[in-house]
Amino acid sequence: MAAEQPHIDKRLTAVLGTVSDPEIPVLSIMEMGVIRSAIINEAGVVMVRITPTYSGCPAMDVMGEDIIKALNEAGYKAEVNLVLSPAWTTDWITEKGRKALEDYGIAAPLDEVADKAVLLGNQKLVKCTLCGSTNTKLISQFGSTACKALFQCEDCREPFDYFKCLK
Amino acid sequence: MNNNLYNYILGIADNSLILGQRLGELCGHGPSLETDIACTNISLDLFGQVRSYFQYAAQIANDGRSEDTIAMLRTERQYVNVLLVEQPNVDFAYTITRQFLFDVYHYKFLVQLQKSNDATLAAIAKKSIKEVSYHLRFSSDWIKRLGDGTEDSHNRIQNAVNDLWAYTDELFHQTPADKTMIAEGIGVDTLKFKDNYFKEATEVLIEATLVVPDLEYFQKGGKEGVHTEHLGYLLAEMQYMQRTYPNMKW
């Protein structure tokens, strides 16, 4: 999927890596796959393109402002544009991002087939973020934010969020 | 300005806007915490999609209209949503039935809109369909749980189906703007999946032990701006802030 790799100027990686998702503060928006491209144009202005995770994600405006703020502080002028295509997918969350989610107490998305099986309650595959058991059950398909479902561990009783697969 | 395209976009977006507002009414009033959050999350998805559509419509109009003025400052007759989505939240059974009857349509519609010749509409469809697949799963599950649940839940959902079924046919009603857009390869020819819609909706209702109404007469008018009495009240609430304090911002 070479065409879907984000195009980010190496000089900007460090700065952009400091901007986090306002609703999942442990996760940088780079690791979320929200930044699709960041380039410095001839005029020296950083042009950033971001794509929403969900259409109604209320965090997008804040992310855009945070990106501009971080770049301004690093001495760049910046402009952020929202693009819809290609549509964001949970496949764009990096390995590092998935690890950060799990450490924060949010189960990372399964692949599409497994995701469907757990959300329909047919199989138990989502790992409890506290004890690691897969003896977990779906409480609600919609959790604390649009991108998550609510699960509970039947062994340690921990309730936790599961980041739904979006493909 | 391409009037047909503008009107076509409004036809799609108004359904999501009005349904989103209806679901938003349940914020803090859902029958349980989980269903409350689910309904409002679906509402949020729909509003997000509406923003994309109205931003595009504002760009086409190119006369100072914004996504906000299109959403908030039209009068009742200028809204072109189908009658189904403006029906009130009588009880949870109505909310779920309305959602289900719309979701089955919405999903099939977006499958086709992804192939539109219009790149922006295709992109919005590709984005939205991922969200709508969750809506459809949620409402189908609840139809089955309530239909095949207790005597009370069964009766309530059967009542809702009996009342709301009359609004399903309008989903496939085509306006002149629709027809022009279909001819240009931009719009979706909804008649092509009409049979499939009724087949699929019927299958779920039967699985839920419900009886599918045998109707000859269906309600219509929303797509021409002729609405049921419910829309006026909905708009009065939705537009209150913008009408009372013009140009206000959060």
Give B133's pLDDT tier (boundaries 50, 70, 90). Answer: very high
pTM of the model: 0.92
Q: For chain A, what are the domain ranges?
A: 2-92, 105-163
Residues of chain A positioned with their CB less than 8 A from the CB of B126: 84-87
- Show the DSSP H helices in A105-154 as ranges: 112-119
**Which CATH number applies to B3-244: 1.20.120.420, 1.20.1260.10, 3.30.1370.140, 3.40.50.2300?**
1.20.1260.10
Q: Given CB atoms, is B51 within the 8 Å cutoff of chain A? A: yes
Query: In chain B, which ranges are E strands?
Result: none
Shortest alpha-carbon distance between residue A118 and chain B (Å): 12
- The residues near A25 (Cβ < 8 Å, ≥ 6 apart) are none
Domain boundaries, chain B: 3-244
Q: What is the ipTM of this complex?
A: 0.83
Encode pLDDT of B207-243 as tens digits: 999 999 999 899 999 999 999 999 999 999 999 999 9
Q: What is the domain class of A2-92 according to CATH?
A: alpha beta
| 3-class secondary structure, B64 | coil
Residues 6+ apart with CB under 8 A from A26: A20, A100, A101, A103, A104
* 8 Å CB contact between A137 and A59: no
**Tens-digit pLDDT profile for residues A70-122:** 999 999 999 999 998 888 999 999 999 999 999 999 999 998 888 888 877 77
Residues of chain B found within 8 Å of residue A52, distances taken between Cβ atoms:
48, 127
Chain-chain contact of B51 with A56 (C-beta, under 8 angstroms): yes
